[in-house]
Amino acid sequence: MPLASHLVFIIGPASLRARWRCLHASVPMPLLRNLCCALLFLNLAGCYSLSPVDIDKSIRPAKDGATSYLVGVVGVWPDAKYSLHEQSLLLRQKGGGGSASARLRNNVHLRTPRDIRDGRRGIGTLFVMPLKPGQYELYNVLFKRSEGTTAWRREDFSIPLQLEPGKAYYIGDFRAACIDYDGHCSFIHSYNLKRDQALTTGKHPELPPLQQLELKHMEGAYPIMLDSEAENAAVYKTILSGQAK
């Protein structure tokens, strides 16, 4: 396919000729060709290049050492009216140890894997964290726009996670939805063990069967984190879906 045809796909047909003439006049052809190839490569291959997890070295298990696995899904709620480009769950080891995060990133060329697609806007990333056994806690969240200008964090809750060696713990599905684009967002939490066990087995067959870990003290994270089955969840779902009048 001619290079110009690829550019139609990358930058859009409406402005292609004007942009091409401007670039052609100011940039040497070899450099322009390399630039176009790089853009094409990003468009075709760069969408799923980001890892959904980030783990401090201090809490990563040693090679052949005792290991616990923390498994779940983070993403965008299917009925969300608004969502930001990145939503993250943050956890840390109790007693001042290291920290880790699980995220869904949803930019054009910078994405975590889309393991789940559901509903009108729903997407989810499966995360698997290999960790040293011990006591951890979910303590924070992060909602962020791609340019980094909007983020909302809250650090006054603790959801305990007791992880034993040789086990894989499933902590559920966390889907973000926002009231607006200014970072006023919440995670709606639910469990779908059957679906996520199948996903985990397909991507990480070496893991033991998942054990569902019931999250305690979620009320301390309200309203930044909502139990989808709670009495007040219906009200928030109406607001977050934009259906409230």
- pLDDT given at position 158: 94
Q: Please list, in sequence order, all residues whose beta carbon lies within 8 angstroms of the beta carbon of residue 175, skipping any fewer than 6 positions away.
A: 73, 74, 75, 76, 77, 78, 80, 122, 124, 187, 188, 189, 190
Residues of the chain with pLDDT under 70: 1-48, 147-154, 245
Q: Do residues 40 and 6 lie in contact, with contact meaning Cβ atoms separated by under 8 Å?
A: yes
pLDDT at residue 110, as a whole number: 82
Domain boundaries, the chain: 3-45, 53-240
Cα–Cα distances (Å) from 238 to 77, 152, 235, 245, in that order, read 12, 21, 5, 9
Express each pLDDT in 223-244 by its tens digit.
Answer: 899 999 888 888 888 989 888 7
pTM score, whole prediction:
0.78
| Each residue's pLDDT tens digit, 61-90 | 999 999 999 999 999 999 999 999 999 999
Give the 3-state DSSP-derived string for 77-114, with helices as H, strands as E and coil as C. Answer: CCCCCECCCEEEEEEEECCCCCEEEEEEEECCCCECCC
Percent over 70 (pLDDT), the chain: 76
- pLDDT value of position 115: 95
